[in-house]
Chain A
Amino acid sequence: MRRNDLFSDRELARALRRLDPPSPTSAQMAALARRIVKRATPMLEARRRGHSSWWEYAAAWAGTLLPLGAAAALVASVSLLWSATSQAPARAHAVERTALLRVITNQAPSRDLVDFLLDTPAAEQARARSRGRSR
């Protein structure tokens, strides 16, 4: 690659231009334009009637639907992950297990456990009682 390669070579250009085939006449160009439009007419009419094929719709919407689908999948997977790792039920189970253990080991009366499970105001008292006892 030489520096001169960045500029046109006049002699070469002239020699190449001499070999150029003649350009089509304006009449030939006009005839070609008419032929192209004529050949395209059935396709254009189908478009006008809205008879596009399903894959044409799919292709047209692909640019919108693909990112939308990917975003929906992402949101769904994040939601699933969040609900699976949620700590609330585990904490509830832990409290129940502690109450059950206290009853089994005679640190609390069994009605405390029943009250606790029924979640009545008495259960609150039982919880308070068991907390007091453990202190």
Chain B
Amino acid sequence: MRDTYTATARRHDSHRGALVLRTSGESDLDRELLTRVRGGDRDAFGEIVERYLPRGMALAMRLLRHREDAEDLVQDAFLSALQHIDLFDLSRPFWPWLSRIIVNRGLDISASRSTRAADALAENVGDSAPTPAESVERGEIREDFRRTLALLPERRRLVVQLFEVDGFSVAEIAKLLDSSPATVRWHLHMGRRQLRNALAAHRRG
């Protein structure tokens, strides 16, 4: 499993390294920092925040698709982790525990507010300047694709994005979402089919 994580990290560091699950040397330093955090060491907590904030924020953005909401989610997750730090098993890696807190809270929040997230998806363009005709066509495709993505059930959307964009394996996603690999594969299959259909409709038209 460790090899898969590392391979995944290498493969996707170029465009979105923030969501990498962990690296092999992290655990010892984490253990030391978290022991100090248990004793109320502010600097150690600051270091933990610094180490895990980019990953936490990337995951929260993936979940909520809105920066301010993602910031609130990550802040709550860190404070919750601190509150329950005595329950954390120091022999285990910290990121899976923190990411589970983020995912559970994030899914609750996104279930309670779906419209705002859908709006937030609309306006992000990362392409070089297209011609006006291309703009219209691309805009239409993007709008349809965006709508299809926003209509996917929350977990399915997350599974597809974590797999396709962030390079997580099925096993990693299952662990993150506290789900079975079979369920993740099912969501992945169904989600991709819906999204591919949205892209194919424009290709045919």
Contact between B79 and A39, CB atoms less than 8 A apart: yes
Instruction: A23 to B125: give the CA distance in the assembly, Å.
Output: 13
A16 within 8 A of B: yes
Instruction: A85 to B126: give the CA distance in the assembly, Å.
Output: 82
Contact between A5 and B188, CB atoms less than 8 A apart: yes
**Which residue of B49, B120, B149, B185 contacts A36 across the interface (Cβ within 8 Å)?**
B49
Q: Which residue numbers of B lie inside 8 Å of A, CB to CB?
A: 15, 18, 37-42, 45-46, 49-50, 53-54, 57-58, 61, 65-67, 71, 74-75, 78-79, 82-83, 86-87, 120-121, 124-127, 141-142, 145-146, 149, 160-161, 163-165, 167, 170, 185-186, 188-189, 192, 195-196, 199
Contact between B199 and A21, CB atoms less than 8 A apart: no
Contact between A8 and B126, CB atoms less than 8 A apart: no
Given known A-B contacts A1-B185, A43-B83, A21 and B121 have beta carbons under 8 A apart: yes
Closest chain A CB from B87 CB (angstroms) = 6
Contacts of A33 in B (CB 8 A): 46, 49-50, 53
Closest chain B CB from A108 CB (angstroms) = 72
Contacts of A11 in B (CB 8 A): 199
Contact between A17 and B42, CB atoms less than 8 A apart: no
Interface residues of A in 1-45 (CB under 8 A from B): 1-2, 5-6, 8-9, 11-13, 15-24, 28-29, 32-33, 35-37, 39-41, 43-45
Contacts of B165 in A (CB 8 A): 13, 16-17, 20
Chief secondary structure at chain B's binding surface:
helix
Instruction: A102 to B160: give the CA distance in the assembly, Å.
Output: 93
Contact between B61 and A23, CB atoms less than 8 A apart: yes
A interface, size bucket: 35 or more
A60 within 8 A of B: yes
Contacts of B15 in A (CB 8 A): 17
Contact between B54 and A8, CB atoms less than 8 A apart: no
Find the A residue at minimum CB distance from B160: A16
Please, could you name 19 A-B residue pairs with CB atoms under 8 Å apart, sorted by A?
A5-B185, A5-B188, A5-B189, A11-B199, A12-B195, A15-B145, A16-B161, A16-B164, A16-B165, A20-B126, A21-B124, A23-B61, A29-B53, A29-B57, A33-B46, A40-B42, A40-B78, A44-B41, A47-B38
A46 within 8 A of B: yes
Contact between A40 and B82, CB atoms less than 8 A apart: yes
Contact between B65 and A36, CB atoms less than 8 A apart: no
Contacts of B41 in A (CB 8 A): 44, 48
Find the A residue at minimum CB distance from B75: A36
**Which residue of B53, B120, B149, B167 contacts A21 across the interface (Cβ within 8 Å)?**
B120
